[in-house]
Amino acid sequence: MRIQANSQEQLQAQGKTILGLAKGDFFITAALVAVIVSSALSVSFVSQKNRHLFPQLELLRKDSAELHSRWTRLLLERSTLGSNVRIENVARNKLQLKPARPQDTVIIK
């Protein structure tokens, strides 16, 4: 213990200490403190950003669910409107169309 005290006193006498630490130890400590402070600030920033973006995420998820539901209804409507039975009913009733008779059919070769 006395040897350390002597070496510390010798460093102080030579001007190689800062705040009681050897210059190399001081710079390492200062660098670690800077890293810890910047890490704490970045955690705080990310937490705040997360609090801000989470409601937007939930809103987008709700919109996505509504769009998916609407897409499903449109697919069902498309399959209903495009069915052969419906097309035939519209052709007969609204457009007054009738199936072609064999004598009205011309085959081109």
Tens-place pLDDT, residues 29-84? 889 999 999 999 999 999 999 999 999 999 999 999 999 999 999 999 988 887 88
Cα–Cα distance, 88 to 83 (Å, whole number): 9
Per-residue DSSP letters for 11-52? HHHHT-EETTEEHHHHHHHHHHHHHHHHHHHHHHHHHHHHHH
Q: What is the pTM of this model?
A: 0.49
Domain ranges (residues) in the chain: 23-98
Cα–Cα distance, 86 to 78 (Å, whole number): 12
Cα–Cα distance, 31 to 25 (Å, whole number): 10
